[in-house]
Amino acid sequence: MPGLYACHQPAAQCIRHRTRQWAVVSPQAGWTCGRRGRVRACSSGGAGSDTGAGAGSAYEDAAAPTTSGGSAYDHPALYTSDDAFWDRGYWDRRFAGGEPLGYDWYRSYDGGLRKVITSHLPREARVLQVGVGTSSIQVDMAMRDGYAAVHSVDYSPVAIARQEEARAAAPPRLRAALSYAVADMRRLEGLAGGAFGGALDKGALDALLCGDDGEADAAAAIREIWRVLAPGAAYVMVTSGSPRSRLPLLSAAVPWASVAVYEIGQRGALTGPFDSQADEEAVAALPAMGYSHLAYVCSK
């Protein structure tokens, strides 16, 4: 079982972190550098990073309630060796303990994601978001870009209860565009095959990969997402994992028609899309930017 979790960068990007005793130690997730000890994550909005949205940012615009002050999770970029990102009970405790509603892991909507999402997830289609947690990216999609039906799921009932509370206080247009349900992405029970015109995952697969059965759990999740996607629809997976670790996992699970890769850097820097087959050399060179994330666009 991995003991530490941190900045989520490949070893080539983490010289700075090693010298500061920051760490990455989950081989299943493709995070390969680091020292043991108490760690700090930069890729979830910590110091020197533009990856996290402010607490409640989009919900505040929609006149929804936010959570404030006083808990151990006021700064979600701080982690310890007790963090168990694959475990539902861990997330229940974290969300109940005060992680801000509206906090976005890895990247906010304006942190390079908006172009990727709007280019590959149709606004008029029903879009599935897995592992929503306390994210507000679905709010941005609906309010700013006119997404008509974003259905967000999480296996934490605490997270979904908080999202439903925020939705109840939101304007009618937003209430109509958003829906929530408790569901495990490895077993999307109650969701019909081919029901969605797109799917979004921002860090959820990475969390599963931290567990002892990480690769099997991730493969099960990919198969379920494939099942609920309509033909031709795309699964957008935002991850810390390099192509070397993620492309074999994606291709082994289901027969995607194509996979394109973007790299999302600091302050909205974006390169791609690179076709995983036609642009093999460019894909193999990723990540090329420091403190970046990858977005894989998998077309059914």
Question: What's the CA gap between 239 and 130, in Å, rounded?
Answer: 13
**Cα 287 to Cα 284: distance, rounded to the nearest angstrom:** 8
Strand-pair category, 126-130 with 270-275: unpaired
Q: pLDDT tens, 65-118?
A: 333 333 333 334 444 445 566 666 676 677 677 777 777 778 888 878 999 999
Split at pLDDT 50, 70, 90, the class of 9 is very low
Q: Summarize pLDDT for 181-228 with one digit per residue, the tens.
A: 999 999 999 999 999 999 999 999 998 888 888 899 999 999 999 999
Burial of 258 (0-12, 13-18, 19+ CB in 10 A): middle
Could you tell me which of 220, 276, 229, 275 has the C-alpha nearest to residue 253?
220
Q: Which CATH entry fits the domain spanning 1-300: 3.40.50.1010, 3.40.50.150, 3.90.1150.10, 3.90.480.20?
A: 3.40.50.150
Question: Whose structure tokens read 């998998």?
Answer: 298
* Separation of alpha carbons 279 and 116, rounded Å: 18
Report whether 201 contacts 132 (CB < 8 A): no
Q: Strand pairing partners for 297?
A: 236, 260
- 253 band by pLDDT with thresholds 50, 70 and 90: very high
Structural domain boundaries in the chain: 1-300
Residues found in the chain: 300
DSSP character for 234? Answer: E
Q: What is the pLDDT of residues 12-37, one digit of tens each?
A: 333 333 322 333 333 333 433 332 33
Distance CA 24, CA 33 (A): 5
Dihedral of the CA atoms 222, 227, 232, 237 (nearest 10)?
-20
